[in-house]
Amino acid sequence: MEPLAFRMRPTHFSQVVGQDHLVGENGILPKMLETNKYLSFILYGPPGCGKTTIANIFAKESKIDTYFFNASTDNKQRLMDIIDTTAYHNILLIIDEIHRMKTDIQDYLLPFIENGKVTIIGLTALNPYQTVNPAIRSRCHLYRVNELTDDDLKSVILKGLEFLDLDLNINANAIDLIIRFSNHEVRSALNLLEAAALVLKDGDTITSSSIKMVMGKANLNLDSDGDNYYILLSALQKSIRGSDVHASLHYLARLIVLGDLESIIRRLMVISYEDIGLANPNLHNKVYLACEVSKKLGFPEARIPLSNIVIEMALSPKSNSAITAIDFALKDLETIDTGLIPNFLTNLIFISKPEL
């Protein structure tokens, strides 16, 4: 039998929880379907909030052929094959992990988005303003898919209990625990509920003890290969940037559990120059030394210098003036005529007058 989360996956917008701003009666997505006017858009939001489900429902209800493309695993040839086989009609292309799309694929796809042959639905758990290529982003509408609230998840859990069709009850503490340890992901919440139901018999009540029995470790969204990992790295950086010591240590701990020391070190070095910058230049060497010590020690001892330096970085004054300045300079190169380099900044004067 399919997992409960699979069986309960919504097949109509009316069944989607917590996203009325997109799929409700006055939402933009139903309006597109009603008018048969399809705009390219990107759905972004945390894992487990329903991005893929919404895209699949939209595709099913649309009047055009739909194809799926995974930007992290599919190559340019796959996209070319899709375009070639649909040469004479428009298509809908759902692009999973759109932030991972390679430049050559983007360059090939852009003209088809521009002329309307391809309408895309991009999916990403990351911030598209920071991670999606501007050329793609400027041709798409950006729609946030919200993290589900506690009330949203509670309604899903209760509906899931009915869906199991078992003579079971659940108390409030158990619901709260499922919500807490599911990280507001519908799939994780329903998996916990289904597992708890398996160890009980008819007439029993699912309690917090039932949940703990099947839960094992808390679901910390620990995935060293997926988007969640980069979200954790981003959370660490933003916590240090915001001078929140407790949050910085929390996200450092979650990254330490994954054991990828190189990624932690690389991110700390970036934070040192990007967020602390000129406000505390003396700290850069300390960050470098702490990272080197951590590499020599390895885990578990590496947690000690990492903790020390993360606390100091969080407490340090911050300045992003250096990265802001160089980004402005790079932007200038796109919009102004750079002209010739002034003679007084070159050696040309000495070449033309060797006696000097």
Task: Show me where the domains of the chain are located.
Answer: 19-144, 150-215, 222-356
Q: Which residues pair with 65 in a beta bridge?
A: 91
- How many DSSP H helices and E strands does the chain contain? 19, 7
Decide yes or no: CATH 3.30.70.2190 for domain 222-356: no
Helix ranges (H only) for 97-133 are 103-114, 128-131
182-213 confidence digits (pLDDT tens): 877 888 899 999 998 988 888 889 998 888 88
Q: Find the mean pLDDT for residues 155-163.
A: 93
What phi and psi values does residue 21 have, to the nearest 5 degrees?
Answer: -65, -20
Q: Which residues pair with 144 in a beta bridge?
A: 44
100-132 confidence digits (pLDDT tens): 888 889 889 999 998 888 999 999 988 888 788
Fold classified for 19-144: Rossmann fold (3.40.50)
Q: Find the mean pLDDT for residues 70-75.
A: 89
Listed residue (94, 97, 98) closest to 82, CA to CA: 94
Read off the DSSP letter of residue 16.
-
Fold classified for 150-215: Helicase, Ruva Protein; domain 3 (1.10.8)
HSE-up of residue 8 (Cα within 13 Å, Cβ side): 25
- Statement: the pTM of the whole predicted model exceeds 0.75: no
Structure tokens at 108: 């090939």
212-268 confidence digits (pLDDT tens): 888 765 455 555 445 567 788 889 999 999 999 999 999 999 898 888 888 899 999
* Pair 241, 271: CB distance under 8 Å: yes
Q: Find the mean pLDDT for residues 160-179.
A: 90
Answer yes or no: same fold for 19-144 and 222-356. Answer: no
H/E run at residue 57: helix 51-61
Q: Give yes or no for a cis peptide into 300 (omega within 30° of 0).
A: yes
